Structure 1
C-alpha cells in the first residue's frame, strides 16, 4: 500500500467493500442456518423430556357389585371431583339418599378413549342397584371412573410438565394470556418493537412494571434455548431465533409450545412447567375445569411465580389477578358485572397433594422395577409414557395407617421397641397388587421390607405340607389321623432335632384338619416325612416360590426365607383356587400420544386341582373360626375369611396371610437385627391384618363347591368314612370318588388305626 493509500484508505475500502459485505452475508446466513437447525431439532421433535405418569387402577362399578356410598365418595374426592347440590359439568357430583349423579371426565384408557358422560347410580343394600347414562337416558350395566394420577417419575433435569394440546385449553385462558403477555401476538413476526414501546409507556405511567416487552415467541425462545444472561448478544440471538420460529411454525404451534413450557412455580426440587401441570399443582383439577378467577390467577403468575405464589402471598396474587381481569374487561373480553363480581373472589388454592412427591414409596419401588424390565431404554421412560398400575389408593392409604398404628400399639402394649413391619395386599383373581407398605414410616424411601426382607416364614409353610398330602386323596383327607408323638431327627449339623408343639404337649394323634387349624408342629413334621421333603419343595415351587429351597426336615416348619411379597405370591395360588398368576403392579403402558406399548397378558396356570384347594381353603377358614386366628371371627362375626398365622423360632418373626372374597393380605412384624420380639403370628401380624380390615369393607369369603366334592362323615379316631348320623362323627368336605362305596357302620368300636409307614428319611436314618 502506497503512502497516499495509507493516508487515505477510502479507495481501498471501496474496492473491497463488496467482498466484506458478501462475507458478512454468508456468515450471517450460515449463522441463521445453524440457529434454524438448533430450533428444528428440538421444536419439531420431542421438545421436552416428560416424566412417566403413574396412574392407579380405575374404579369400575357394575350392577350388583358390593360397594358402599362411603367407598364411592372416597374415590370421587381422591380424583378431585367436587360435591355440589346439582352437578352440571365435568368433575362434579351430587349425592343424596343412596343416589349419585356424576359428571365423569373424558379419559384415554389402554383399551380406548372414553368421553365425558353424565351418569346416575343408585345403591341398595350395599350393592349397585342401577346405573343410567343420563346423556342417552339408557340403563347400562357398568361404568368406570378415570384413574387417579399417583405420581410422576421425574427426569434428571428436574423439570416437570403435563403436556396439553391447544384444544384442551379454555378460550378464556388464551384470551387472558395473549392480552397480558403479547397483545400483538397474531400480527407480529416473532418480535414486536411497538409492543416494547407500548410496555415502556405503560410501565412509566403506572410507576411500576405492569407489562413486559418481550413477545410470547421471545419468551419461549429464552425458556427453551437460552440462559437468563442479560447481554446484548443474548437478546440479539433471542430476536433472531424468534423470527426463525415465527417463519417456520404456525401461531398455534408456537402458542401450544409456550403453554407447555412456561415456568409457573416450584414443587420441591423440581420446576412446575406449563399450564397443564400448574392446574393440578395449584387447583387439583384439569385445565378445562378451571373457572375464570383460577385461569387469570395462573396467567398473572407468569410475571413472577415465586413473588406471586398463591400459597405464600395470596394478597399479591389477588392484586395481580385483578389486574388481568381489568385488562380483559377493558378489552371487552368480559362484562362489567363479571369483572366487578370476580374482584372480591378469594383464591382457593388446593393443598397440592396430587403432585406431592414420594407418595407410597414401597409400592412405587415395585412399579419402577417392573417398568425397568418392560422399558429397558431410559429415553423411552422419559417420553411422557402413561403407566397404568393396579394401585388401589384407598387400600394403600388404609394399609399405611393400619401398619403404623398397629406397630405403635403393639410396642406400647408389650413394652417393646424397634419393631418394623410390612404389608402386601393383592387382588386374588387377577394377581394385581393393590397396596405395599415396606416400613412403619410409610413415606420413608429406603429399605423395602415388603420386597427385600428375606425372613423365615415359620408356620406359613404348613399349607404347602398339607396341600401335598391332600393331592393324594386315596391316602389323605381332612379327617386322616396324624401322629402327634415325640420325634428325634438329626439336623443339618448332625445334632438331634426334637420338634415341639407350641404348648409342649403331645396328643397321640389328631385329625389332619385339626393339626393345620391349631398349627401343630409335630404332626406336620410327621406328615412331611411321610410325604417326602422333595415333594413338599415341589409344591412350594408350584405355589410360586422362586427362591432356592434347601431340602431338609426343618422345611416342614418353615426353615425357608421369603419376603412378604413372595409369601403373598404363594398364598395367592391357594386363595385363587389353585390358579397361579404372577403378582404385578403394571397393567399397561401407553405412549404420550395414547398408543398401546405394552399390556399384561400372562394367563393363569392351574397348578392344583380345585377340589384339593377347596379342602385346603376350608381348613384355612377353620383357622379363623376356631384355630390360631380365631380373633378374626370375634372381630367380624358375620363375615367369612380364611388365613394362616406364622411364628418362627425364638419368636423372631410374626406372620399372617389372610383373605376374604376379593383380597389377600400378608403382614409381617419383626426386628431388623433379627432379635426375638416375643410375638406370635396371632398377637403380632394378625393384629395388623385386623386393623386393615377394620378400615375397609371386607366381603364375605365365598367359594363355589367343585364337582366331585361333597360332605362326608368320618370317625374321629380312625378317620374312616362312616354312615351319616353316627354319634361323634365328623362332617367334612371330601373328594367322594376316593372314599369307600360302603362306609363303616356306626357300631364299629375301637377301630384299628393303620400303622404309619416309615418315610425314606426314617428308613435311612432311623
Structure 2
C-alpha cells in the first residue's frame, strides 16, 4: 500500500506536467516534496470556490423553484372553486355516498345500488374508545391542527416533481373526510391542493366533533359476516360483533380503528361472509392501535395489556346469509340511466389521463378499466344524476304495455342441465318504444320490454320499410331526382340477382307518384328510386348524419337496403332519433338521457349540450313532411286517424315490416315529439317465431295508446297544432297526374299524345327547381316495354294490362 507521502508525490508529479505559466506570469516553483503544501493549498482554495458557487447555484435554484411552485400552487387555487359553507354542510351531513338518480324536474328515481352498506349514528352514540383509538391511530393532533398536515403538503410536492410515490397516506382526519366526501380518487397534485383548500375551509366552518362524526360514519371498514362491504362504525359494530357502536369495548374499538388503513387485509371475513382462517394480520394491527393509544396516554398500561389478551376470534360473529332485493319498479330506467352515466364518467376519467373515445373503442381492457373506475365513483361519491325521463309519462307508458295484447306467447319445456328437471320457458311478443323531444333529442319516456331485463330500445332489428324516408325518398328529393309527384315505375323488375315485389307478392303494373308509393309502402318503386339515387349520392352520409351507424358496407352495397334489408339492423332509439330530423328543420340531434351530473359539492361536472347536424335542407324536410303525412292520411297508417285523441293534421310517420313478419315498426312524429314502436320475438334461445299478418295493425293500435297516454300528461310538448311553413326554396308546379310532369304534347313511336288537364292535375313540390314539360320517358325505373304499355293505354288501348295488379310467385312481406 502506498504511503501518503508517495501518493502526494505522484499527484504533484502529474500536476507538474500540466502547469504552464503565461508569458507575463512568473512560473510557480517546481513541484517537489518540499513545495507540495503550496499546491495543496491551491487545490483546496479552488475546491472551496467551486463549493461556494455550487451552494449559490442551489440556493438560487431553490428560490426559483419555490417561486415556481408557489405560482403553480396559486394558479391552481385561483382556478379552483370551493363550495359554500351551506354546500359543504349538506355534503358532510349526507353520509349516504351512493349516487342519487332523478327523473326530470328533480323527481327522485333511486339510489345507485352498491354492496357497500352503511348505518349512521351521532357521535354521542359511538363508544369513546373508538373515538380515542381513531385519533391516536389516524391523526394524533386532530384537536389542535388546522385540518392540514404540513408533511402531507411536502409529500405532495415531492411526489409531483420527483415522480416518486403517488399515494397520499398520512393525511389528517379532516383531509380524509374531504377525500371520501368531496373529491375523486385522483392522486394528482391539483387534487391534493384542492384537498388542502377544502380541509382548511371545513376546519374553519365546522367543529371537530362534526368532522369526527362524519369520518366515523363514512370510513370503509372491510366486510361483515354476510360478506357485504361495510362503512361506518355502527355498521362495523353490528356486522363484526353484533352490538351497537356505543357498546363497543376497548379491544373491539381498537380492532375497528385499525381497519381503515387496509380494510381488505385486516377484515376478519371473506367475500362470502365466513371467518378467515388466519386472523393474524388484523389482530396485529389491533395491537398497533392499542400501543399508540397507550403511547399517547389514551389508555393505561393495564388497560393496554388486558386489551391485548382479549379473545377477538371468539368475539366475532358467525357467518350469516344475506337477503338482497334486486327488484325495482323502475328497473329499465335505473339500468338505462346508470349505464349512460357510467359511460360519461368513464370518458371524463379517460380524458383526464390523455385518452380519447377512439382509444377506448379499440382497447377493451382500457375501456373496462375506466368503466370500473366510473362505477366506483357512482357507488361512493354521492353524485346527483339528472335524467330527461318524465316519471309521469314513463308510468303512463308502462300502464299501456302492461295491459297490451301484442300477440301470441309461445312456451317450451327443456331440461335444466344443473337440476335435471324440466323447466318451462315463455317467449312473449316483446316491445321497444321510445318518445323523444324533436328539438333536443331528450328521452321523455320509453318501454324497455314486456318482460325480462333486456332494454329493447337498444336492440338492433331490421327496420323494414321504415327506412325508406331516410335512405330513399329524403336523399332523392335532396339531390333533385324527384318532386313529391314524380312518377316511379312499379312493374316486374329485372335487377341482376335481385327480384322484388310489393307487399303480398303484388305488382301494380303502372307508374305511381312518389307520394303514393311512400304512403302505400310499395316496394318496387322504392327499389327503383334507390337504385338511381345511390348512383348520384352517398346514402351512407345521410344515414350516419341522422345518427344511424350500425349499417355495414355490405348493407349499403345491396338494393335490399331500400326495404330495410340489413346485416344487423337499427335500434329503436336510433330510428326514432333519425326521424326527429323531419320535425327539426332537417337537423339531427343525438338522443340522450342524462341531462347533467352534479358532484357532492354542488358543482355541475357534466352538462349535456345539444349539437345539431344538418342532414336535409329545409326544403327537403318540408316536402318529406307533406309526403309522410299521407302515410297517416290515406296510407298504411290511416287507421290512426280514429284512434288518436289529438290533432293528426300535422302527424307524419312510416310503417315497417321485415320479411316473414319478424319485425313490425311504426315511427310517428308530431312537430314536438317522435314516438317509435317495434314489436317482435327475441328468439334468443334458437327459436324462430314470427308475428302474424295482422301484427302491423296491432302495433298501430298499441302506438296510438302510447301516444294518447303521453299526450294526456304532456300535451304541450306534442305541439300537435303547429305546422312548418314552406321555405322559399320549396317550388311548386301543376303537373299531370299521369306523368308527374307539366302537361304538353308528346311524340312516342311516331304518334302524338296530348297530355292535357283532362287527365287530371296535381301540385307537385320540388327542392329549389321546377320540372319540364312531359317527355316520353318521364319516370324513374321502367323499361321500354313499360312505356309502350303506358302510351298505348293512354292512347285508348285499355285492355293491355296497364294498371292491372298481378301477383308474383315470389311474395314479399315488406311493407
TM range (shorter): 0.5 to 0.7
Aligned length: 465
Match of 1:467 in 2: 474
1:617 aligns with 2:625: yes
Match of 1:152 in 2: 111
CA drift at 1:531: 1.6
1:638 aligns with 2:640: no
Match of 1:217 in 2: 123
Give the 3 Å change call, closer, same or farther, for CA 516–259 of structure 1 in structure 2. farther
Match of 2:709 in 1: 695
1:375 aligns with 2:345: yes
In structure 2, how many angstroms separate the alpha carbons of the residues matched to 1:690 and 1:400?
14
Give the 3 Å change call, closer, same or farther, for CA 302–706 of structure 1 in structure 2. farther
CA deviation vs aligned residue, 1:127-181 (integer Å, no higher than 9, x gap)? xxxxxxxxxxxxxxxxxxxx201122133313489xxxxxxxxxxxxxxxxxxxx
Give the 3 Å change call, closer, same or farther, for CA 238–541 of structure 1 in structure 2. closer
Match of 2:437 in 1: 427
Partner secondary structure for residue 573 of structure 2? helix
In structure 2, how many angstroms separate the alpha carbons of the residues matched to 1:302 and 1:425?
50
* Structure 1 unaligned spans of 5+: 1-43, 59-146, 162-214, 223-232, 263-268, 275-300, 305-354, 760-766
Match of 2:493 in 1: 487
Aligned match for 1:535, one of 520, 533, 538:
538
CA drift at 1:572: 2.2
CA drift at 1:571: 1.5
Give the 3 Å change call, closer, same or farther, for CA 478–238 of structure 1 in structure 2. closer
Mapping 1:68-467, distance limit 5 Å: 147-159=106-118, 216-220=122-126, 247=143, 250=207, 253=210, 257=214, 358-376=328-346, 377-378=373-374, 379-381=376-378, 382-406=380-404, 408=405, 410-411=407-408, 418-441=428-451, 444=452, 446-451=453-458, 453-463=459-469, 464-467=471-474
Partner secondary structure for residue 449 of structure 1? coil
Q: TM-score, normalised by structure 1?
A: 0.54
In structure 2, how many angstroms separate the alpha carbons of the residues matched to 1:582 and 1:755?
36
CA drift at 1:736: 7.1
Are 2:492 and 2:507, in contact at CA under 8 Å, matched by a contact in 1? Answer: no
Partner secondary structure for residue 110 of structure 2? strand
Aligned match for 2:512, one of 510, 513, 516:
510
Give the 3 Å change call, closer, same or farther, for CA 653–400 of structure 1 in structure 2. same
1:52 aligns with 2:60: no
Mapping 1:665-676, distance limit 5 Å: 665-673=675-683, 674-676=688-690
Match of 1:657 in 2: 667
Match of 1:279 in 2: none
Match of 1:168 in 2: none
In structure 1, how many angstroms separate the alpha carbons of the residues matched to 2:95 and 2:339?
24
Are 2:551 and 2:570, in contact at CA under 8 Å, matched by a contact in 1? Answer: no
In structure 1, how many angstroms separate the alpha carbons of the residues matched to 2:733 and 2:434?
36
Give the 3 Å change call, closer, same or farther, for CA 508–639 of structure 1 in structure 2. closer
Q: TM-score, normalised by structure 2?
A: 0.51
Give the 3 Å change call, closer, same or farther, for CA 47–613 of structure 1 in structure 2. closer
In structure 1, how many angstroms separate the alpha carbons of the residues matched to 2:546 and 2:672?
19
Give the 3 Å change call, closer, same or farther, for CA 711–220 of structure 1 in structure 2. farther
CA drift at 1:240: 8.1
In structure 2, how many angstroms separate the alpha carbons of the residues matched to 1:708 and 1:149?
47
CA drift at 1:242: 13
Partner secondary structure for residue 609 of structure 2? coil
Mapping 1:707-718, distance limit 5 Å: 707-709=728-730, 711-718=732-739
CA deviation vs aligned residue, 1:342-382 (integer Å, no higher than 9, x gap)? xxxxxxxxxxxxx9963433333332232222212334333
* Structure 2 unaligned spans of 5+: 1-90, 145-205, 220-226, 233-243, 248-324, 347-372, 410-425, 745-755, 784-815
In structure 2, how many angstroms separate the alpha carbons of the residues matched to 1:523 and 1:752?
19
Give the 3 Å change call, closer, same or farther, for CA 754–160 of structure 1 in structure 2. farther
In structure 2, how many angstroms separate the alpha carbons of the residues matched to 1:503 and 1:514?
18
CA deviation vs aligned residue, 1:101-126 (integer Å, no higher than 9, x gap)? xxxxxxxxxxxxxxxxxxxxxxxxxx
Aligned match for 2:769, one of 722, 729, 738:
738
Aligned match for 1:594, one of 599, 602, 607:
602
Partner secondary structure for residue 678 of structure 2? strand
In structure 2, how many angstroms separate the alpha carbons of the residues matched to 1:375 and 1:218?
38
CA deviation vs aligned residue, 1:531-586 (integer Å, no higher than 9, x gap)? 22773333322322111332211111111211212212221223322211111111
Match of 2:35 in 1: none
Answer with 1 or 2: which has the greater Rg.
2
CA drift at 1:439: 1.4
Structure (1 or 2) with the greater strand fraction: 1
CA drift at 1:729: 4.2
The root-mean-square deviation of aligned C-alpha atoms, in Å, is 4.2
CA deviation vs aligned residue, 1:244-297 (integer Å, no higher than 9, x gap)? 8994672762697499779xxxxxx999999xxxxxxxxxxxxxxxxxxxxxxx
In structure 2, how many angstroms separate the alpha carbons of the residues matched to 1:558 and 1:687?
23
In structure 2, how many angstroms separate the alpha carbons of the residues matched to 1:394 and 1:730?
48
CA drift at 1:503: 6.0
In structure 1, how many angstroms separate the alpha carbons of the residues matched to 2:95 and 2:611?
37
In structure 2, how many angstroms separate the alpha carbons of the residues matched to 1:159 and 1:714?
75
CA drift at 1:497: 3.0
CA drift at 1:734: 1.7
In structure 1, how many angstroms separate the alpha carbons of the residues matched to 2:695 and 2:545?
25
1:719 aligns with 2:719: no
Are 2:619 and 2:730, in contact at CA under 8 Å, matched by a contact in 1? Answer: yes
Higher RCO, 1 vs 2 (CA within 8 Å, ≥6 residues apart):
2
Are 2:135 and 2:142, in contact at CA under 8 Å, matched by a contact in 1? Answer: no
Mapping 1:679-694, distance limit 5 Å: 679=693, 682-694=696-708
Give the 3 Å change call, closer, same or farther, for CA 259–627 of structure 1 in structure 2. farther
Give the 3 Å change call, closer, same or farther, for CA 216–654 of structure 1 in structure 2. closer
Give the 3 Å change call, closer, same or farther, for CA 702–242 of structure 1 in structure 2. same
Partner secondary structure for residue 421 of structure 1? strand
1:577 aligns with 2:573: no
CA drift at 1:648: 0.8
In structure 1, how many angstroms separate the alpha carbons of the residues matched to 2:131 and 2:544?
68
Are 1:712 and 1:736, in contact at CA under 8 Å, matched by a contact in 2? Answer: no
CA drift at 1:51: 1.5
CA drift at 1:686: 1.8
